[in-house]
Amino acid sequence: MECPKCNAPVSVNARFCDQCGINLKEDADFLHRKALDRFHRGMIEEALADWENILKRDPGNSTVRYYQGLALYDQGRLEEAAASFEKALSGAENPFRIYFKLGMAQYGLGDLPASIRSFERAREINPGSAETHYRLGLSHLRNTDLANAESALEEAVRINPEYTRALYMLGMVFAQKGEPASAIEQFNKVVKLSPTYTAAIFELGMAHLKNGNLNQASQEFARAVESNPGFAPAHYMLGETFYKRGDFGEAIGAFEKVLKINSRDADALVRIAECNMQLDLLDGARKAISRALEINPNHREVLYLSQHLGEMTTPHKPGF
């Protein structure tokens, strides 16, 4: 580190500068630099202690309040972080980053109206920040305000056309609005920019499914599985598309892969039982139902299938 007065090299634990004699333990600038060094090295508690020492003498130090908020945010202490950011606003020359981080903390706390106000203030100060529009869109989306979410996310994409997260969330907005064609357009953009974005590939499949494009949906779910073999929802939905197409053997294979990832997925076992019944493989259906009942004895579909299978295998007396 350097002395804040004469720039001579000094130890982080030095009490005085050997060159100019300044009392480093009482110098707010030196303490802040030391705190920043500790913060960036992951020594957050030590950094917070240094900043607290500065604030005892200078409680209105906006810069220190801001970094104190960052450290508290990193620790997950969101209420304290929000309080620090709010105090940092007083006297701040450029409060953009403070409003932005305050909005992040408020979003984490679930205070969506407050986070929206903070992101809107940040947007007023720096309207060219795509990240601010994106975060504002997320707050509106979580607040179920789809119109304002769409508007904010579209602005983020206008500023940065290759902003994959914003494109993805814009696709999610269209999906929630019941506009699968528009959702498909957005998810296609994401996948073109990031071919291994598994969640986007999966949602592209879901949008195709809702739009009635069964074969295209199946292809996208297969791509999602290839991108991330451990992503159980993609295996499940691939099985669903096979089932809807009448490819019951392929469907069983997909649902069995779900069970390899999560052996207690009762819904996958239900589908396996249904596929086996369609193929007249009643022993396979019986085994799947038995496993599903062990997992969830009150599963309505399992109970129905169990009863239906019993009726299918019960011999009828002549005349009945």
Q: What was the pLDDT predicted at 105?
A: 99
pLDDT > 70? residue 186? yes
> Hunting for tokens 């994106």 — which residue is that?
134
Alpha helix locations (H) across 90-129?
96-109, 112-125
Contact in structure between 156 and 166 (CB atoms under 8 Å): yes
- Would residue 158 count as lying in a domain? no
Quickly state the pLDDT bin for 32 (edges 50, 70, 90): confident
Q: What was the pLDDT predicted at 126?
A: 98
Number of domains observed in the structure of the chain: 1
Report the candidate in 198, 176, 172, 199 with the shortest Cα–Cα distance to residue 186: 172
pTM for this entry: 0.86
Q: What was the pLDDT predicted at 313?
A: 65
- Angle (CA) 27-31-34 rounded to 5° is 145
Contact in structure between 155 and 129 (CB atoms under 8 Å): no
CATH of the domain at 286: 1.25.40.10
- Would residue 258 count as lying in a domain? yes
- Would residue 137 count as lying in a domain? no
Lowest mean pLDDT among 31-40, 106-115, 250-259: 31-40
- Give me the long-range contacts of 30-38 (CB less than 8 A, separation at least 24): 30/1, 30/3, 30/4, 32/63, 32/64, 32/67, 33/1, 33/4, 34/1, 35/64, 35/67, 36/67, 37/1, 37/12
Quickly state the pLDDT bin for 87 (edges 50, 70, 90): very high
Q: What was the pLDDT predicted at 17?
A: 44
Q: How far apart (Å, rounded) are the C-alpha atoms in residues 289 and 273?
A: 6
What's 9's DSSP letter? B
In whole angstroms, what separates CA 96 from the centre of its chain?
Answer: 24
pLDDT in tens, 125-167: 999 999 999 999 999 999 999 999 999 999 999 999 999 999 9
* Between residues 30 and 257, the one the model is more confident about: 257
Output phi, psi for 14, to 5 deg. -65, 145
- Would residue 176 count as lying in a domain? no
Q: What average pLDDT is seen over the chain?
A: 91
Q: How far apart (Å, rounded) are the C-alpha atoms in residues 246 and 283?
A: 20
Percent helix, strand, coil in the chain, to 5, is 75, 0, 25
- Three-class secondary structure of residue 163 per DSSP: coil
- Angle (CA) 304-234-135 rounded to 5° is 115
Quickly state the pLDDT bin for 91 (edges 50, 70, 90): confident
Which range marks the domain in which residue 270 is found?
Answer: 229-313
- Would residue 207 count as lying in a domain? no
Q: How far apart (Å, rounded) are the C-alpha atoms in residues 282 and 17?
A: 85
- Would residue 239 count as lying in a domain? yes
Residue 1 tokens read as 């580190």
- Would residue 21 count as lying in a domain? no
Q: What was the pLDDT predicted at 131?
A: 98
- Give the pLDDT mean for 265-282: 96
Strand spans (E) along 129-220: none
- Would residue 208 count as lying in a domain? no
Residue 150 tokens read as 């769409």
